[in-house]
Structure 1
Amino acid sequence: MYEASGDLNNAFISYRNAVNLYLANSGSFFGTTLPEQLKKDVLRTAAALGFTDELDRYQKLLATTYSPKEENIEGELILFWENGLIPFKDQTFYSFTVLPGNTDGVVSIYNEELNLTLPVPISKGKGKNNKFSDIEIFNVAFPKYVKRNPYFFKASIIKDSITTADFQLAQNYEDVAFKTLKDRAVREVSKAAIRLGTKKISEHLLKEENKDLGAALGIFNALTERADTRNWQSLPNSIYYARIPLKKGKNTISILLTAANGISKEEKVYVDSRKGIQFKKITSIKSY
């Protein structure tokens, strides 16, 4: 966007920041490897601004040599390909077991799958520690993502009857979804388990006063235990991009989408050349 508006200095800074983020993460970030086009862009803008030190530095870091091109193009097209659909949220249940021993005023609940042990304070009723041997096992609801595989896995760009390039991955939303959910899994499950343990405390306390009301509260707690499955379902699974030079006049660009079963589909993009950068996108949401 900076480069399209003529602000080459901020464009270079943005390209450099992006490259540095990839390099700081061993060349890959959230399922996306450092795009080759990004390497070219940071070198090209450094050269255009006369930043020779930065140009030399990034040529070494990226193991890439800058090759200036002849300026005979009539503008450029940055074409985005939004492919597939992001995983959708469902819910799963983790079973927790109450471990024996409650003499210290705390009951420990344990989940084998997560290897997670959590302490829940034992409330005191009628001057003595409440009994929790009746709890035994209970379930905690937690959201999970269900993967949707994009129908198409590759897209090739055909210009002037010649295959010029393949799209490069720019953003992998599927990887972002799974990794962020995993990163907060233990914290969120811990909070949910403690919440449910507190519900069980109130349930057992009420049973001491009235067994029917205690049973009713237990049923209510079970029915209301569910995960938050709200999520964006119209985001693409992944976004790819390509930078395409334009010739003078009208340009017809064909994109050949290829599925795993070998079936192909052709999309066409029409663009009139002009100086500077233009943006367009194609979308293929078919998934299974």
Structure 2
Amino acid sequence: MKNILNKILRASGLFGLMLFLFSCASYNDRIMPYYTQVAGGNYKQAAVELDKNSLLKKPRNKLLLLMEKGKISHLEGDYESSNRYFNEADQLLEDGIGGVMDAAVGTLVNPMTQSYKGEDFEKFMIHYYKALNYFYLNNTEDAIVEARRITLQSQEQGDKFNNKESRYSKDAFSLMLQGLIYEAGRNVNDAFIAYRNAADVYLTASDTTYYGTKIPEGLKKDLIRTAYLNGFQSEQDKYERLFNLKYQAQKSPEGGELILFWENGLAPIKKEKEFFFSLIKNNHGDMVFTDGNIVIPFFDYDPGKVNKASVQSLRVTYPMYVARPPYFSEATASNGAFSIPMEKVEDINVLAFKTLDQRFAKEMGKTLARLAVKKTAEYVLSESGKGSGKNGKNDALLTGLGYGMQLYSLLSEKSDTRNWQTLPNSISYARIPLQKGENTISLSLKGSNGQNETKTIQVNGTGNLKFYNYSSLR
């Protein structure tokens, strides 16, 4: 029996060591060759690295693979392929990801082994890229369909949190984008509604700032202008007072207008942070987990499932975002006649940090409850081995299994460090008047170290609303 125990301990130790070494690498570490090529602007090589990556090819990472393939195809200018991937990702989300078995795997091992379901803001960004792809393919009708899908996504997000102001229950940028899409389709009534919905998100937020973004001046003007075009005088008066702006009717530019989006930098990455909790009774007699500073109620406490004596200390890992400060700090667009500062309309960096913070207590509570149950199973195995063997001696097999399970639980614990990391750090925009025919638009980028860069864009003014997005992914 002693030899059996030694073998179990050696095997569990070796397996635990393998798990530990494997778990040290975050998702970003394992996908680094791909992200390095993206940041360097080497999109073709990035696509090669993406196809080579074994981690992304696993079924549980299918959504991530589709989003990354959609993004890299978009950057390469292959808009048809880009939307094939994004449409598949969209369908995957609509059908639902995961299930009972998927949840069970996450409970037995760790959340990293579950299917990736996407961050809420990532789902909205799929619609952003799909709509741009359709415009670049001269497919305004499908772009408008995408605008309607933004409404459905917004309703789903609102229902998820009952439209609580303190939660990310709407995406102001997506609603503004929806207005722009409708306007490009010459539907000023729906454009007005979308602009109004976007503006109201800002107006109900503290200091009219929504997740790191103040209400854009361009949105204010678009809302008042479309109210005027629809003949909604009372709405026009209302928002003119709110924004302290007086609308002056002007002739539309002969060549139409360009909506220029600037995608600056890269979204934050996820790393892992360790916590050590104990299960105790508070002053009211309720069971809580605490690390000395953080207190998480144990709502699912069941004496039949959790033995308090077994939960002396729990090692818990939780994802934390690490920001990647962008190289450029601000930008200005020019059409040759005048300059227009780019206004920030989406701060993905702030969104990522705040939405993760918002679900901290709930996610940590689920993790701690899961670990407490596992800890009890370890305890039962170890205790069952005491004195249950021949002549009242300890059962080496049960004791060894208890030790092995303890080591496995300790070293297999890993947080989910996956996210769509080629999203930009932030998105800014400008509405630029165009002349009939060819227009040269300059985008001047100001580097944080004083070094500047200029991107020149050629746009054909046809009298319609046009779109262009430029990515500075470093």
TM-score normalized by the length of structure 2 = 0.56
Deviation, 1:123, is 4.2
Residues of 1 paired with 2:258 and 2:345: CA distance? 16
Contact preservation (8 Å) 1:79, 1:241: yes
- Please point out which of 309, 321, 324 is paired with 1:148: 324
Counterpart position of 1:53: 234
Q: Deviations over 1:144-187 (max 9, x none)?
A: 11111111010111221x55111011111111111110110000
Residue identity matched to 1:182? D
Counterpart position of 1:172: 347
Partner SS, residue 154 of structure 1: strand
Partner SS, residue 407 of structure 2: helix
Counterpart position of 1:5: 185
After TM superposition, the structure 1 = structure 2 runs for residues 101-140 of structure 1, keeping only pairs within 5 Å, are 108-118=288-298, 120-123=301-304, 132=309, 135-140=311-316
List gaps (5 residues or longer) in structure 1.
none
Deviation, 1:100, is 7.3
Q: Deviations over 1:118-150 (max 9, x none)?
A: 3644448xxxx9571x64322111111111111
Residues of 1 paired with 2:280 and 2:201: CA distance? 45
Residues of 2 paired with 1:112 and 1:81: CA distance? 44
Counterpart position of 1:206: 381
Residues of 1 paired with 2:318 and 2:419: CA distance? 14
Deviation, 1:28, is 1.5
Counterpart position of 1:75: 256
Residue identity matched to 2:217? E
Residue 21, structure 1, aligned to residue 182, structure 2:
no
Deviation, 1:51, is 1.4
Residues of 2 paired with 1:38 and 1:234: CA distance? 26
Residue 63, structure 1, aligned to residue 271, structure 2:
no
Residue 93, structure 1, aligned to residue 274, structure 2:
yes
Residues of 2 paired with 1:219 and 1:72: CA distance? 70
Partner SS, residue 184 of structure 2: coil
Residues of 2 paired with 1:141 and 1:224: CA distance? 10
Higher strand share: 1
Residue identity matched to 2:324? R
Counterpart position of 2:52: none
RMSD: 2.1
**Aligned residues between the structures:** 277
Contact preservation (8 Å) 1:79, 1:279: yes
Cα separation, partners in 2 of 1:235 and 1:144, compared to 1, 3 Å: same
List gaps (5 residues or longer) in structure 2.
1-180, 385-397
Residues of 1 paired with 2:201 and 2:244: CA distance? 17
Contact preservation (8 Å) 1:156, 1:163: no
- Please point out which of 352, 357, 369 is paired with 1:182: 357
Deviation, 1:207, is 0.1
Deviation, 1:263, is 0.5
Partner SS, residue 353 of structure 2: helix
Counterpart position of 1:224: 412
Deviation, 1:68, is 2.0
Partner SS, residue 99 of structure 1: strand
Cα separation, partners in 2 of 1:86 and 1:113, compared to 1, 3 Å: farther
Deviation, 1:112, is 2.4
Cα separation, partners in 2 of 1:195 and 1:43, compared to 1, 3 Å: same
After TM superposition, the structure 1 = structure 2 runs for residues 271-286 of structure 1, keeping only pairs within 5 Å, are 271-286=459-474
Cα separation, partners in 2 of 1:42 and 1:108, compared to 1, 3 Å: closer
Q: Which has the higher contact order (CA 8 A, sep 6+)?
A: 1
Counterpart position of 1:196: 371
- Higher mean alpha-carbon deviation, 231-240 vs 115-124, is at 115-124
Structure of larger gyration radius:
1
Cα separation, partners in 2 of 1:131 and 1:171, compared to 1, 3 Å: closer
Deviation, 1:107, is 6.0
Q: Deviations over 1:67-109 (max 9, x none)?
A: 22233532100000011111111111211024379xx9x8653
- Higher mean alpha-carbon deviation, 136-145 vs 193-202, is at 136-145
Deviation, 1:250, is 1.1
Cα separation, partners in 2 of 1:3 and 1:131, compared to 1, 3 Å: closer
Counterpart position of 2:222: 41
Residue identity matched to 1:57? K
Contact preservation (8 Å) 1:154, 1:258: yes
Cα separation, partners in 2 of 1:130 and 1:2, compared to 1, 3 Å: closer
Residue 215, structure 1, aligned to residue 391, structure 2:
no
Cα separation, partners in 2 of 1:236 and 1:131, compared to 1, 3 Å: closer
What's the % identity of the aligned pairs? 38
Counterpart position of 2:455: 267
Cα separation, partners in 2 of 1:8 and 1:213, compared to 1, 3 Å: same
Contact preservation (8 Å) 1:123, 1:201: no
Partner SS, residue 235 of structure 1: coil
Cα separation, partners in 2 of 1:78 and 1:131, compared to 1, 3 Å: closer
Residue identity matched to 1:208? E
